[in-house]
């Protein structure tokens, strides 16, 4: 081990600062640097202690997407982490999308622009319900997306609902869902707004949530 790398590991400085240095005392840094052991990052939440998303009838629960765990499992600088699953006609894509962000994409092979996909999403900040709106993706399909700030993601999607279900939706859920929708998905919310009266409270909630 070169002296420079040793010092880098020891004091956690330099451009190639290793993971897992911050938060540890100098003594543990010293030993880990000396032995070449990477300390696990202290800020990584313990997924085992995070609550699992509640599963209701008809819900599909995806395997946990854990950025920290995936990073630790990676041997080098990771590629952008992406996992995908297919359940029925739905293709789920969960991926890192930016600083501290995880994106959830749900693709169906039919026009689902008139549908809402409810999802219970558990992150390190708790479990919250979301509504995903579909927008046309390719000539024959639709896609719905969420972009969340989280370290890990537990997703359980339920059966699709018609867009009319928005009437009974919790406004907080709508606000949360609009805020978590990436820009291309906003056209779906715009369409829902356009299909509602001008003074419709749901439409106002959506507009307010869109900024």
Partner 1 sequence: MPPADPAPAADRYELCSRLLFGPGTWFELCRDAAGSPSAIAGLRARLAPGADAAEAFATRSSWPGESRLPQTPPAPDPGSASGDSLLLPASFLLPGPSPLPESSLLPESPAPGAGSAWSAAKAASDVLAAMDGGPGANDLLRSAAAHWRRANVLPTLPLTGAGIGSPTAPIARRLAVLTDDAAAADRAGLGFLAICVRAFARDLPRKRREAELPVLFDRRSTGGHGVLRLTLLDDGPPGLYPDPRSMLFLVADRRFAEALDTAWRTAGPRLHDRCVIWRLTTDGLPCDEIAGGSLGAAFGVGLADLAPRLLRARRLDRRCAVTAELQPDTRLAEAGGVPNKLEEAVRKRWRVVLAPARDPDTLPEALLRAARVRFAVDLAAAVRSCRTKMNPAFVALAAAVLLAASGIAGGAVAATRESRAAHQREIAVGLIPAAASVRRTDPATALLLEALAVRLGAPGARPVLVQSVVDNRFAGAFDGFAGIEDPCGGRQTWSPDGRLIASIRPATDEVRIWDTASRSLVRTVAMHDDVTGCAFSPDGLTLAIAVGGRLAQLPVLDPTSQPVLTTVEAVQVQFAPNGLLAAIGDHQPLRLWSVTGTPRLVGSIGADVSEGQRQPPVAFHAGMMAFIDRPNVVIADLARLRVRARLPVSAESLAFSPRGVLAIGRTDSLTELWDTGRPPRRTDVLRYQAPTGYVASSLGFGANGTLVVASHASSHVWQIGSEDPRRLRALAPVDSQVGSADLAPDGRTALVTFGSRPPSLWRVDSHGWPRAVVTLPGGTVSGVRFLPGTTQMLVTAAGGAAALWDVADPARPVHLRAVGPREGRGTRGGSSAASVFSGDSRFFAAADDDGGAGVWAVEGLRRVMTVPRSGDDEVVPLALSADGGLLVTRNHESNGLQQGELRDERIHLWAVREGTQPTATPPAESQPPGTTPAETRPPGTPPAETRPPGTPPAESQPPGTPPAETRPPGTTPAESQPPGTTPAESRPVATLPAVSDPEVAFAPDGRLVTVVRAGTSGDAVATWWNVADPRRPVTLASRRFAIEAPGVIAFSSDGRRMFVTSETGPGVSWDISDMSDPRLVHSQVSLHDGQALATATSGNTLVLSATGAIDVWDMTDPTLPAEVAVFATDDKSIFHEHLAISPTGLLATAQWAEGVVGQYTNESIIQLRNVSPILTAVTDPVAAACHIAGHDLPTTLWQRHAPGITPHPICP
Which residues of this protein are in contact with partner 1, per CB under 8 A? 10-13, 22-23, 26, 42-43, 45, 67, 77, 79-80, 82, 84, 91, 93, 95-100, 103, 105, 107, 124-125, 128, 137-139, 141, 143, 145, 149, 176, 179, 182-184, 186-187, 189-190, 193, 206-207, 210-211
- Cα dist. 167→46, 139, 171, 200, 203 in Å? 37, 29, 9, 10, 10
- Residue among 116 and 133 whose Cβ is closer to partner 1: 133
Closest separation in Å from C-beta 26 to partner 1: 6
Distance CA 206, CA 179 (A): 9
Closest separation in Å from C-beta 137 to partner 1: 5
CB atoms within 10 A of CB 177: 28
- Residue among 10 and 60 whose Cβ is closer to partner 1: 10
Tokens of 173: 């859920």
Distance CA 48, CA 183 (A): 33
- Residue among 64 and 107 whose Cβ is closer to partner 1: 107
Where would I find the beta strands (DSSP E) of the chain? 60-61, 65-66, 82-87, 90-98, 101-108, 115-123, 126-136, 142-149, 152-157, 161-162
Closest separation in Å from C-beta 23 to partner 1: 6
- Residue among 45 and 158 whose Cβ is closer to partner 1: 45
Q: Where are the alpha helices (DSSP H) in 141-200?
A: 171-180, 186-194
Closest separation in Å from C-beta 36 to partner 1: 19
- Residue among 108 and 116 whose Cβ is closer to partner 1: 108
Closest separation in Å from C-beta 57 to partner 1: 27
């Amino acid at each position: 081990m070169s002296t420079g790398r040793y010092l880098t590991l020891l004091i956690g400085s330099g451009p190639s600062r290793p993971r897992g240095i911050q938060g540890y005392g100098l003594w543990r840094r010293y030993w880990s640097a000396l032995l070449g052991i990477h300390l696990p990052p202290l800020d990584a939440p313990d997924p085992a202690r995070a609550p699992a998303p509640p599963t209701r009838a008809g819900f599909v629960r995806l395997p946990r997407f854990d950025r920290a765990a995936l990073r630790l499992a990676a041997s080098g600088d990771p590629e952008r982490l992406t996992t995908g699953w297919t359940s029925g006609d739905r293709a789920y894509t969960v991926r890192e999308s930016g600083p501290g962000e995880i994106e959830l994409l749900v693709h169906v092979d039919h026009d689902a622009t008139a549908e809402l996909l409810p999802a219970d999403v558990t992150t390190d900040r708790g479990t919250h319900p979301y509504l995903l709106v579909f927008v046309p993706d390719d000539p024959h399909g639709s896609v719905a997306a969420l972009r969340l700030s989280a370290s890990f993601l537990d997703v359980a999607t339920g059966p699709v609902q018609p867009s009319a279900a928005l009437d009974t939706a919790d406004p907080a859920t709508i606000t949360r869902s609009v805020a978590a929708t990436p820009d291309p998905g906003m056209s779906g919310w715009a369409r829902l707004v356009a299909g509602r009266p001008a003074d419709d409270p749901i439409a106002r909630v959506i507009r307010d949530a869109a900024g």
